Each structure stands twice: as structure tokens, then as C-alpha cells.
Amino acid sequence: MRNGVATTPRSDQVIEQASLKKMGAFNSWWRFAPGLAVLATAVVVLLASGVEPGPIFRFGLYFVFFIALPGTLLWRALGPTLTHRVEEYAVGAALGYAIEALARLAASALHDPKLSMIVPAFMVAITAAVPQLRRYWRSEAAPLSAGLAWSYALIGMLVLGWLWFSYLRVQPITWSGQGGPTIDLLYTLAYSAEAAQRWPVEFPWVAGEPLHYHWFIGLHLGGAHTATGIELPVLLFRLYLIPIVLVLIVATGAVATRLSGHHWVGPLAGGLAFLSGELELLTLDRAISESDASVVDSLLGPMLWWSPSMTYSIVVLMPAMLLLIDAVRDRMRLTAWIVLALSVAAATGAKGTAIPTVVAGLGFVVLVGAVVRRTLLRQAALALGLASVAYLLADYFIYGQQKHGIAFDPFGYSDNTVIGSIVNGAGPVRLGLIAGGAVAALGVFAHMAPWLGAVLLAGKSTRDDAAAWLTAGFALVAVGSMVLLYHPGQSQLSFSRGLLPFLAAAAAWGVSTKMRTRGQIWVIGHIPGLPGPRSPHSVNRIRRWQQVRSGGVLVLALVAGVAIGAAIMRWYPVGASDKATRFTRFLEVATPFALVFVGAVVVAGVYLIARTAMPKVEVGALAVLVLVIAGAGAVRIGGQGLHAAYAATGRHVIGPSGTDQMMDFDVVRAAQWLKDNSAVDDVVMTNIHCAGNTPYRSGERCDNLSFWVSAYSERRTLVEGWGYTARNAEMAAAAGNRNYGNLLPFWNPGLLERNDAFLAKPTLSEAQVFRHDYGVRWILVTATHGPVSPKLDRVAQARFTAGPATVYEIR
């Protein structure tokens, strides 16, 4: 016992771990069947999405040998031994992503990004060559049982299928005529090309503007491009997401296993994180066909692929999240601090919200420890210090001490939700404190659906566990950031989304505390109180029977929730009528939430009555209740997948860009030609400034979210768009702008006007000024985006033409 927390496993956990290999672990080659099924699904999904076999094979080799293998070897050398090998592989791969980012960052600072390839190669080579290190090639963890292996595999295949239905099949790599990716993916492609090739980094669509942003996903994409030769659009729009999602599913299970000490909770945690989601209780047709109909949005919603930085930050932070469990329990081994530092360091630049959540959660643990135990939790305090230093350094060196538009605005997010708009009706722009608070309350309940089970940690068996305090701290961060902060792009929700895997793992832990056998803790593989000695075959048979019965109860609870949620959404038409007042409209949108809760209570009550027919097994009624609500949160995800597959309309979750953001593919061809025929540090001038095909005219409306030239040419532009920059975000916040600031004018109008005036009336002297003073060597213009003089070829040489786009070179 250390500081009131047990530092050795309980006897039931020891028996459970010892029995893992005896409980149906696969024999011979059959143990690989679940993994091969997931691998086959991933390959089929990618082939069906237009990726050739060659890139799939090369990317697979890169992931194994440059990410998963070095990360796993380092985890085995420095980190704690995990329960299962597959969890070890997943957490090791997450660590591999962190190592790659830091190695690429250091190599970029030395102006030779390819040097980063030495790090994973060295790690693999030295552990193979040095006899004392070869032991790390062998795992001390146990294989999965057949049931757990197929549970993980089923979740993985369902997630991959959903990604294909909702995203991959409708997100283009190439297209004919007008089309293109969603604007945020285009934006990510642009700054990823910058991060992959140049140092110091700048916003490539405004040359000279420092890239104060979370851009480390670009380091990963750059490393993959260097190792495989695969183009960045294929990596970003197709390949990178597949292994990251699979790693996150299993890593979430590893966190749940570490929290609870029970191996069976892993798939439950993975399912809660990726197959459940927030309660979406608008009409069924609207919920399954609209991506923005939610109150907050779930991890498996569009944000999984729409925000690569969000998904990437979660995976690089997973090793730290797992180690923090040991740290708050004051039993982390010395060498594991190196792993924690690596994971935290990579997360600083992966997402600006990642480390503040860690600091807040650890701060809560240290505070509660001081108040409740009247002692300092030393390892928690040390981890807090490490995370705080990392945050301060990142805030200065990566983010330039800028807030990026995030402001304190209680209930401000409520105004930008569909439910908020229904409650507001034809009223003023803002809901106000009372109405906004009421909508926020619904949002909190909706958002907690997949991790409501974490509330069960308030029970006697866990409430003194510092890991439960960490969960409470993270939950407060998730809820507090959602209702108290506001960002024009709703980026305050990134605090909450980034914590979902940990909170889902904690929810599975909470459910496990309500799994009992006649008053004793229920553990798969351990049956307390069995009278007399039994043969191993008899004991294992009883264990498996208990597992099937209790697992069946959990599954039925989730299915009941799906049925309740679908029924409410089908027959309760929210927003179908125009109620007279805000209060009556609020009652209309609140009723479905109340019905879900009442339905969960009814199901739990029926279970209590029926439980007498299931001797020796008792699943707590509270566990059933929270899982029913979690099941209701899965309706939108499942409904969207089915809708995408079978709807005659062919609608999808979020497809290509809206018509106001589309671009002729000939412009993309011109930009790609420019990439292949220019130097990395060349600067491009363009007349494309507004999103889509809107020409820029001074004083007129212009959506400044244009990244086409910088994204596909992979070069900096003198001025393309200027949205999503740190400076524009601060201007939007100062002006009270609540829609990204995408309609704000450029902060340097003189430069923009000089740019366009030259293209309309070019002169040789002005061309030389741009060439020597601004570094402009190339010009990419289209006839549809603004005046272009036919005399331009007198001051610059026309090098390439595709449709309306022409590329010129200034000599």
C-alpha cells in the first residue's frame, strides 16, 4: 500500500491474468484469424476507395517497420508490461507515432527531414544486434482469448465499414470538372506540405506568416511520404486514417484494462468510444443524413476524418494517458517517465488542446489528494510539473502565445447547434444566459452518453482510487470547456473530443464495478466461492458460461438503447412544428432526452425482476441503465451507415465540398505541375483568393478560406486566402465575429491590391520587384478568378496550361 492505493494486483486480478492463456487463447494459426479479418477488411476498403495495391503495400510496410515496431520495442524496454500482446502493439504503435514526429521535427530544424528515417532504423537495428536488448523482441504479455480477439476485430471491421460508407467512398482524390475535398482537409493538406518540407514553418497561403498552429500531423505525413514516395493527398485522404483508428480502438481497451485490472473491459471501452456517440434525438431522417445536426458531435462522427489533427493528437497522447494511471496511483517505474515525456512532447504540437486537458486533470488529482488524503501525491505532482512545462514551452515556441480566437463565453456554443436554433426560433442571434444554459444542459447529457458509466466510479470500491479522481478531473474539463468556452469554429469542443477514449475506458471500468456474483466482484476467469476442488475443464466451462450470460446482458442493454433511441427519433418529430415560445420549444427538444432516460430506467427495472432467473451472475442495474443510454447514442452512427449504403437519394454524411468551395480539377492539375517543376522554397503568385470560383473584388464579399494553390502545389503563395491563420482568428475574436472570421478582409490590403494590379496590368519592372523583393518565381492564374492581362506573357514565360489555369515563370 502506497498513499492509500494498492501497488500490487488483487488476488482476483492475479488469478484472472494467470488464467488468460487457459481461457480459450487460440492455438496454432487460428489465433491470427481475427487480425487477418481486420487486415482484409482494411485492404478491401482502401481498394474500393480507389487506392492502388502498390501504395497500400508500401504504406503497410512503412507502418510496421517505421511506426509500430520501433514504438513497441521502446515500450517493452521502458514502459510497464501490459495484459495483452495486442494492447502492447497498439500502445507501442502510438508511441511510434510520437517518436516519428519528434525525430522529424529535429531533422527539419537541421534542414534535412530525411535524417529522421535514421531513428526508427537505428532502434530496430540496435535491439536486434545487441544480445542484451534482443529480449525486447519477445513479449511477456498474454495472447487474447478467442472471444476478446473477435470482439476487437468486430469493432474494427464495423468502424472501417462505417468510414467507407460515410467518408472514403464520397471523398475524392481526383475528379472531373468541379469538385474537391472538404475545406478542412484541403487546409490540412496545405499546412502538412509546409511542415513536411520547410523550416521554419509558415502559413503557406500567406508567405511570411508564422505557422502558429498544431501542425505535427504534417510531420507524420511527411515521414510517410519520404519513406514510401506516396503523394500527400493519397496519404491524407485515404491511408493515414486506417491504422490510426485501429490503434486507437485497441489502445482505448488497454487504458480500460489498466484502470480496472479486468481484461474483458477492453472491447467494451473500444465500442463505447467508437460505436456509441452523443445522443442525437432529432428526427431519424435528419439525424442519419445531416452531419451538423448534433449537439456536440461524437468521436466517430465526421471529426474522426474531418480533423486529422484531432485524431492524430489522440493517438500520440495515448501512451501518456495510460502511464498517467500509474502515476496518479504512485507506482510508475522510473524508465516510464521517458515514455511519458516523449508522448507529451509530441502531443504539444499535435493539438493545442491536448496538454491543457492533461494539466487540468492532473491538477485536480493533486488538489483532491491534498484535501482528502492530506498528502502530496508525488508522482502525480511530478507528472503535473512535466506537463505544465511542456505546455508553457509549446505555447511560446509553437503557438506564439496566441489564443486563436478561443474566449470565455458561457453557453456560447449553444447558439451554433441545431437544437439551439430550434429553441431560438425566429428570435435574436444569441440565446442568452437562461436559454443557452438550458440547451447546454441537454448538450452535456447528450455528450456524456458514451461515457456515462464513469459516474459509477463514485462507488465505495473506487472512489478512493486516484485514477477515479483523474477521470473526474477529465470529465470536468470535458464539460467545462464545452459550456464555458467559445471558438468561432467550435474548436473548444476539441478539449472534450480528445478525452473521449479515456472517458469511455473509465466508463467500462465503472460498469465492471457493478459486475458481481452474489455480492462478490465478478471477474471473467475467476469464480469466487466455488465449493470444493474442480477440474480445470469444469472450471473453465463454468467461467465461459458466466462470460456468455453476463456478456449477453451487456449486449442486450446496448441493443435496447439502440431500439429506444431509434423509436423516439422515428415517432417523435422534433422541430416539426413552430411552438409559440422558447420555453415550449425547449420542452419539445428536451422531451426525447427525458424519454431515453425513462426508457433506460424501465429496462433496468425489468432486468432487476428478471435477474432472479440468472443464478450465480449479477450485472448491476446501474450498469444496465448507463449502457442503455450509450446504446441510444449509437443510433445516429449506425443509421448514417445504413443510410449511406441503401438510401436511393445517395446522400452521405459529408461528401465533397459544397458548391461554393469546389474547384475545377484543371486548376489542381496546374498546381501539381508546379509542384513537380519548382523548388521547395519557391513562392507563387495567384489571383485565387476566395473559396470556390468567386473572383476577389475589393470591398465585396469574399470567403477567405482558399487553400487550393498552396495545398496542391505544396509551395508558399504570396497571398492566396488568409482564413484560419492565427492573426485572422484574433481579428475575428476582437470583432465579435462568430463564424470563423472567413469574411474578414485581408490585414494587408496594399499587398493584395498590388498583387492583383500586377496581374491585370503587368510591367517588367514590377515583375522584377516581386521576383527579388518577395521571392515570387511562379504565377498561377485562372480566367475565372479575376482580371488577367493577355500581356502577362511579356513579363513571364507561360509554362503550363490546363483548362482555365495557366502557370507562368518569372525569369
Q: What is the distance between the alpha carbons of residues 805 and 666, in angstroms, rounded to a whole number?
A: 7
**Residue 530 binned pLDDT confidence (cut-offs 50, 70, 90):** very low
Percent of the chain with pLDDT over 90: 51
The pLDDT score that the predictor gives to residue 663 is 84
Q: Check whether 226 has a pLDDT greater than 50.
A: yes
Question: Residue 73 CA to chain centroid, in angstroms?
Answer: 25
Question: What does the pLDDT average to over 182-193?
Answer: 91
Contact assessment for residue 182 and residue 656, using Cβ atoms and an 8 Å cutoff: yes
Find where cell 488483487 sits.
Answer: 10
Contact assessment for residue 228 and residue 58, using Cβ atoms and an 8 Å cutoff: yes
Residues composing the chain: 811
Contact assessment for residue 305 and residue 167, using Cβ atoms and an 8 Å cutoff: yes
**Residue 556 binned pLDDT confidence (cut-offs 50, 70, 90):** confident
Q: Check whether 364 has a pLDDT greater than 60.
A: yes
The model's pLDDT over 755-792, given as tens digits with 9 standing for 90+, comes to 999 999 999 999 999 999 999 999 999 988 888 999 99
Q: What is the distance between the alpha carbons of residues 239 and 92, in angstroms, rounded to a whole number?
A: 19
- In terms of Cβ atoms closer than 10 Å to its own Cβ (0-12, 13-18, 19+), residue 291 is middle
The model's pLDDT over 121-150, given as tens digits with 9 standing for 90+, comes to 999 999 999 999 999 999 888 888 888 999
The pLDDT score that the predictor gives to residue 79 is 93
Q: What is the distance between the alpha carbons of residues 203 and 716, in angstroms, rounded to a whole number?
A: 8
CA distances from residue 786 to 571, 683, 757 in whole angstroms, order as listed? 51, 20, 10
**Vertex 536, ends 533 and 540: CA angle to 5°?**
110
Question: What does the pLDDT average to over 510-527?
Answer: 56
Question: What does the pLDDT average to over 415-438?
Answer: 72
Q: What is the mean pLDDT of the chain?
A: 83
Contact assessment for residue 185 and residue 661, using Cβ atoms and an 8 Å cutoff: no
Which of the two residues, 13 and 522, has the higher pLDDT score? 13
The pLDDT score that the predictor gives to residue 616 is 58
DSSP notation for 54-70: HHHHHHHHHIIIIIIHH
Which of the two residues, 544 and 676, has the higher pLDDT score? 676
Contact assessment for residue 629 and residue 765, using Cβ atoms and an 8 Å cutoff: no
Nearest Cα neighbor of 11 from 257, 332, 261 is: 261
Q: Check whether 571 has a pLDDT greater than 90.
A: no
Question: Residue 616 CA to chain centroid, in angstroms?
Answer: 40
CA distances from residue 294 to 165, 298, 421, 508, 636 in whole angstroms, order as listed? 19, 9, 12, 24, 9
Ranges of H-type helices in 179-335: 183-197, 217-228, 232-234, 241-260, 265-274, 284-289, 303-306, 308-328
Q: What is the distance between the alpha carbons of residues 483 and 481, in angstroms, rounded to a whole number?
A: 6
CA distances from residue 150 to 36, 144, 145, 246, 648 in whole angstroms, order as listed? 11, 9, 9, 14, 33
Q: What is the distance between the alpha carbons of residues 538 and 705, in angstroms, rounded to a whole number?
A: 66
Contact assessment for residue 637 and residue 162, using Cβ atoms and an 8 Å cutoff: yes
Q: Among the listed ranges 10-24, 192-206, 336-350, 640-654, which one has the minimum average pLDDT value?
A: 640-654
578: which 3 cell numbers?
413552430
Q: What is the distance between the alpha carbons of residues 216 and 195, in angstroms, rounded to a whole number?
A: 7
Which of the two residues, 593 and 318, has the higher pLDDT score? 318
Question: What does the pLDDT average to over 71-99?
Answer: 95
Percent of the chain with pLDDT over 70: 83
The pLDDT score that the predictor gives to residue 670 is 95
DSSP 144: P
Rounded to 10 deg, the angle between the 241-260 and 265-274 helix axes is 130
Q: What are phi and psi of 464, to 5 degrees?
A: -95, 5
Q: First vs last Cα of the chain: how many Å apart?
A: 75
Element (H, E) at 51: none
* Torsion on CA atoms 404, 398, 318, 489, rounded to nearest 10: 20
Beta partners for 270?
none
Q: Check whether 676 has a pLDDT greater than 50.
A: yes
Q: What is the distance between the alpha carbons of residues 364 and 358, in angstroms, rounded to a whole number?
A: 10
13: which 3 cell numbers?
486480478
Q: What is the distance between the alpha carbons of residues 172 and 186, in angstroms, rounded to a whole number?
A: 11
Find where cell 513479449 sits.
Answer: 139
The pLDDT score that the predictor gives to residue 694 is 81
The model's pLDDT over 253-273, given as tens digits with 9 standing for 90+, comes to 999 999 998 888 999 999 998
Q: Check whether 296 has a pLDDT greater than 70.
A: no
Contact assessment for residue 159 and residue 300, using Cβ atoms and an 8 Å cutoff: yes
The model's pLDDT over 719-743, given as tens digits with 9 standing for 90+, comes to 999 988 888 888 887 776 666 678 8
Q: Can you give the pTM of this predicted structure?
A: 0.89
The model's pLDDT over 740-755, given as tens digits with 9 standing for 90+, comes to 678 888 999 999 999 9
Q: Check whether 191 has a pLDDT greater than 80.
A: yes
Q: Which residues contact 515 (CB under 8 A, 6 or more apart)?
A: 521, 522, 523, 550, 618, 619, 620, 623
The pLDDT score that the predictor gives to residue 27 is 56
Q: What is the distance between the alpha carbons of residues 424 and 292, in angstroms, rounded to a whole number?
A: 17
Q: Check whether 653 has a pLDDT greater than 70.
A: no
Q: What is the distance between the alpha carbons of residues 385 and 480, in angstroms, rounded to a whole number?
A: 22
Rounded to 10 deg, the angle between the 241-260 and 308-328 helix axes is 20
Q: What are phi and psi of 524, to 5 degrees?
A: -60, 125
